[in-house]
Structure 1
Amino acid sequence: MHRIIIPILFLTLSIFQGTAQQQQKPITITGKVVDSDSGQPLEYATFVLQSAENPDQVTGGITDLSGNFEVEASPGTYNISVEFISYKTYSLQGQTYNSDTNLGSITLSPDVAQLAEVEVVGEKTTVEVRLDKKIYNIGKDLTTSGATISDALSNVPSVNVDIDGAISLRGNENVRILINGKPSALAGFGSTEALQQLPADAIEKVEVITSPSARYDAEGTAGILNIVLKREKTLGFNGSVNVYAGHPTNGGITANANLRTDKFNFFTTIGYRYREGPGNGFFDTRYFDPRQDAFLDSIAYDRNIEDRNYDRINRGINTNFGMEYFFNKQSSITASYFFRGGSDEDLTTNANDYLLANNPQVGTTRSELETEKDKTHQISLNYINRFDEDGQVLTADFQYAVDSEEQNGFISEPVRYNNTDNTDINIPREETYETQDQTEYLIQSDYVLPFGEDSQFEAGYRGNFENEVTDYRLLQENASGILELNVNQTNIFDYTQNVHALYSQYGSKFGAFNFLLGLRMESTQLKGKIESELTEEELQEEFSFPIDTDFDNTYTGLFPTVNLIYEFSETENVSLGYNRRINRPRGWFLNPFPSRSSRTNIFQGNPNLRPAFSNAFDLGYLKRWGKMTLTSSVYYQRETDAFQRVQEQVFITGPGGSQVEVVRNIPFNLATNNRTGAELGLLYNPFKWLRLNGSLNFFKFSLDGEFNGVDYSQSNNSWFGRFSSKVTLPGKIDWQTNAFYRGASDEVQGRSDGILSINLAFSKDLLNDNATISLNVQDLLNSRKRSSFTTTDFYDQNSEFQWRQRQIRVSFIYRINEQKKRGRPGRQEDYEEGQF
Structure 2
Amino acid sequence: MKKPFLITLLLLSINTFAQRPQRPQNQEQEPIKITGKVLDKDDGQPLEYATLVLHSVKNPEKVTGGITNIDGVFEVEAAPGEYNVSIEYISYKTYKLPKQQLNKSIDLGTIKLALDVAQLEGVEVVGEKTTVEVRLDKKIYNIGKDLTTSGATISDALNNVPSVNVDVEGGISLRGNENVRILINGKPSALAGFGSTDALQELPADAIEKVEVITSPSARYDAEGTAGILNIVLKREKTLGFNGSVNVNIGYPSRSGISVNANLRTDNFNIFNTLGYRYSNSPGHAFYNNTYIDVDGNQVYDQINEERDYTRSGKGLNNNFGVEYFINKKSSITGSFFLRFQDGDDLTENYSNYFKDGLLSRQSFREEIELEDEENYQFSLNYMNNIDDDGQKLTADLQYSNGDEVETSTIDDNNTFPNSSLNTLESVYQNEIEDEYLIQADYVLPLGDAQFEAGYRGTFEREITDYKLDSLNRNTGLFVTNEDLTNKFEYHENVNALYTQYGNKFGKFSFLAGLRLENTQLKGEVTSEYDTSSIEEALGQDVDLNFDKNYLGLFPTLNFIFEIGEMENISLGYNRRINRPRGRFINPFPSRSSRANIFQGNPDLDPAYSNSFDLGYLKRWDKLTLTSSVYYKRETNSFEYIQQATGQITTDSVRIIRSIPINLSSNERIGAEAGILYNPKKWLRINSSVNFFQFSSDGEFDGVDYGTDNTSWFARFGSKVSLPKKIEWQTNAFYMGPRQNAQTKTDGMLSINLAFSKDIMNDKGTVSFNVSDLLNSRKRQSYTVSDDFISESEFQYRPRSITLSFRYRINQAKERERKGRGDDNGGGDDEMEG
TM-score (norm 2): 0.86
Q: Does 1:779 find its partner at 2:751?
A: no
Over 3 Å counting, the alpha-carbon distance change for 1:363 and 1:398 in structure 2 is same
SS in 1 for 2:136: coil
Structure 1 CA distance for aligned equivalents of residues 265 and 446 of structure 2: 30
Deviation at 1:793, TM superposition (A): 0.4
Deviation at 1:156, TM superposition (A): 0.2
Amino acid at match of 2:684: L
Report the counterpart of residue 254 of structure 1 in structure 2.
Answer: 259
Residues 645, 666 of structure 1: 8 Å contact kept: yes
Residues 53, 64 of structure 2: 8 Å contact kept: no
Report the counterpart of residue 274 of structure 2 in structure 1.
Answer: 269
SS in 2 for 1:221: coil
SS in 1 for 2:584: helix
Residues 399, 443 of structure 1: 8 Å contact kept: yes
Q: Does 1:171 find its partner at 2:165?
A: no
Over 3 Å counting, the alpha-carbon distance change for 1:262 and 1:711 in structure 2 is same
Report the counterpart of residue 88 of structure 1 in structure 2.
Answer: 73
Amino acid at match of 1:552: D
Q: Give ranges in structure 2 of 5+ residues lacking alignment.
A: 33-51, 83-108, 116-124
Structure 2 CA distance for aligned equivalents of residues 705 and 33 of structure 1: 62
Structure number with larger C-alpha Rg:
1
Residues 726, 735 of structure 1: 8 Å contact kept: yes
Task: Point out the more displaced range, 704-713 or 283-292.
Answer: 283-292
Residues 82, 90 of structure 1: 8 Å contact kept: no
Structure 2 CA distance for aligned equivalents of residues 81 and 225 of structure 1: 39
Task: Provide the aligned length of Structure 1 versus Structure 2.
Answer: 766
Structure 1 CA distance for aligned equivalents of residues 604 and 5 of structure 2: 60
Task: Point out the more displaced range, 582-591 or 740-749.
Answer: 740-749
Amino acid at match of 1:751: K
Q: Does 1:616 find its partner at 2:612?
A: yes
Structure 1 CA distance for aligned equivalents of residues 773 and 724 of structure 2: 26
Amino acid at match of 2:325: Y
Deviation at 1:95, TM superposition (A): 7.4
Structure 1 CA distance for aligned equivalents of residues 243 and 6 of structure 2: 30
Residues 684, 691 of structure 1: 8 Å contact kept: yes
Deviation at 1:754, TM superposition (A): 0.4
Structure 2 CA distance for aligned equivalents of residues 96 and 211 of structure 1: 50
Report the counterpart of residue 788 of structure 1 in structure 2.
Answer: 782
SS in 2 for 1:429: strand
Report the counterpart of residue 283 of structure 2 in structure 1.
Answer: 278
Amino acid at match of 2:747: D
Report the counterpart of residue 454 of structure 2 in structure 1.
Answer: 459
Amino acid at match of 1:754: G
Residues 160, 167 of structure 1: 8 Å contact kept: yes
Report the counterpart of residue 579 of structure 2 in structure 1.
Answer: 583
Structure 2 CA distance for aligned equivalents of residues 549 and 42 of structure 1: 69
Amino acid at match of 1:90: E
Correspondence 1:135-284 to 2 at 5 A: 135-284=140-289
Deviation at 1:739, TM superposition (A): 0.2
Structure 1 CA distance for aligned equivalents of residues 129 and 780 of structure 2: 35
Amino acid at match of 1:314: G
Over 3 Å counting, the alpha-carbon distance change for 1:637 and 1:35 in structure 2 is closer
TM-score (norm 1): 0.86
SS in 2 for 1:389: coil
Structure 1 CA distance for aligned equivalents of residues 712 and 356 of structure 2: 37
SS in 1 for 2:637: strand
Q: Give ranges in structure 1 of 5+ residues lacking alignment.
A: 9-31, 53-66, 75-79, 98-110, 294-298
Report the counterpart of residue 495 of structure 1 in structure 2.
Answer: 491
Over 3 Å counting, the alpha-carbon distance change for 1:584 and 1:796 in structure 2 is same
Report the counterpart of residue 119 of structure 2 in structure 1.
Answer: none
Over 3 Å counting, the alpha-carbon distance change for 1:333 and 1:705 in structure 2 is same
Deviation at 1:595, TM superposition (A): 1.1
Over 3 Å counting, the alpha-carbon distance change for 1:166 and 1:545 in structure 2 is farther
- Once the two structures are superposed, residues 492-545 of structure 1 have per-residue CA deviations (whole angstroms, 9 ceiling, x without a partner) of 000110000100000000011111000001100001100123445343235555
Report the counterpart of residue 806 of structure 1 in structure 2.
Answer: 800
Deviation at 1:550, TM superposition (A): 1.6
SS in 2 for 1:301: coil
Report the counterpart of residue 662 of structure 2 in structure 1.
Answer: 668
Report the counterpart of residue 518 of structure 2 in structure 1.
Answer: 522
Correspondence 1:89-104 to 2 at 5 A: 89-90=74-75
Match of 1:699 among 693, 698, 701: 693
Match of 2:601 among 586, 598, 605: 605
Deviation at 1:435, TM superposition (A): 0.3
Root-mean-square deviation over aligned CA pairs: 3.5
Residues 210, 222 of structure 1: 8 Å contact kept: yes
Deviation at 1:88, TM superposition (A): 3.5
Residues 33, 42 of structure 1: 8 Å contact kept: no
Report the counterpart of residue 288 of structure 1 in structure 2.
Answer: 293
SS in 2 for 1:413: strand
Over 3 Å counting, the alpha-carbon distance change for 1:402 and 1:114 in structure 2 is farther
Residues 124, 627 of structure 1: 8 Å contact kept: no
Amino acid at match of 1:674: E
Residues 38, 817 of structure 1: 8 Å contact kept: no
Structure 2 CA distance for aligned equivalents of residues 543 and 829 of structure 1: 49
Identity of aligned residues (%): 57
Report the counterpart of residue 133 of structure 1 in structure 2.
Answer: 138
Correspondence 1:722-801 to 2 at 5 A: 722-801=716-795
Structure 1 CA distance for aligned equivalents of residues 66 and 271 of structure 2: 28
Residues 424, 472 of structure 2: 8 Å contact kept: yes
Deviation at 1:358, TM superposition (A): 2.1
- Once the two structures are superposed, residues 283-306 of structure 1 have per-residue CA deviations (whole angstroms, 9 ceiling, x without a partner) of 11111229999xxxxx93211010
Amino acid at match of 1:451: L
Amino acid at match of 1:436: E
Deviation at 1:123, TM superposition (A): 2.5
Amino acid at match of 2:402: V
Structure 2 CA distance for aligned equivalents of residues 371 and 791 of structure 1: 34
Structure 1 CA distance for aligned equivalents of residues 154 and 305 of structure 2: 35
